[in-house]
């Protein structure tokens, strides 16, 4: 997990986290911060273990830490944050010595994490599912205004 910790200490990564915090300072719904990123990683890793998927913990954590770093840009101009996050992640992955194959796998999963369509790799699936299942919606005070659930659907704890 050495490279994961390098990401956490990467100056540009921390700039993006700060931009997310500033953009979401008045947000009443779930935030896109380090806690969310770690929750996504942990849930994704649990799912990988349960399904016996051969994706390393380091790669799961890497994708989770980076998947929403461009959320601030979506608030600013409506750009798809998944695509922005993938673009912003390229330099960070390079600086933290990820191989071309690892980088491609991670960036593809980040690009796909919003839609849940055409999930090809196990990492695509793990990031998508980890993102969707990591929120503590059962205790949410603003769930009535949230768009995560259909009418009359109730959140359940899964992980």
pLDDT digits (tens, 9 = 90+) for 35-92: 999 999 999 999 999 999 999 999 999 999 999 999 989 889 989 999 999 999 999 9
Supply the pTM of this predicted model.
0.88
Sign of the Cα pseudo-torsion (86, 90, 91, 97, in order): positive
Indicate the range of 29-38, 103-112, 137-146 predicted with least confidence.
137-146
Q: How confident is the prediction for the chain on average, in pLDDT?
A: 90
Could you say which architecture CATH assigns to the domain 1-145?
Orthogonal Bundle (1.10)
Residue 93: predicted pLDDT: 98
C-alpha to C-alpha distance for 64 and 39, rounded to whole angstroms:
8
């Amino acid at each position: 997990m050495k490279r994961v910790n390098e990401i956490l200490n990467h100056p540009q990564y921390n700039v993006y986290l700060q931009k997310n915090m500033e953009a979401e300072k008045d947000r009443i719904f779930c935030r896109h911060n380090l806690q969310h990123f770690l929750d996504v990683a942990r849930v994704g890793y649990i799912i990988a273990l349960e399904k016996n998927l051969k994706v390393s913990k380091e790669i799961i954590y890497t994708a989770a830490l980076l998947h929403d770093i461009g959320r601030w840009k979506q608030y600013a101009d409506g750009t798809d944050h998944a695509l922005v996050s993938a673009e912003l992640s390229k330099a960070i992955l390079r600086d933290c010595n990820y191989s071309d194959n690892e980088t491609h796998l991670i960036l593809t999963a980040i690009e796909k994490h919003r839609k849940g369509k055409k999930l090809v790799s196990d990492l695509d699936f793990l990031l998508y599912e980890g993102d969707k299942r990591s929120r503590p919606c059962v205790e949410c005070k603003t769930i009535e205004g949230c768009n995560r659930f259909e009418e009359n659907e109730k959140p359940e704890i899964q992980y």
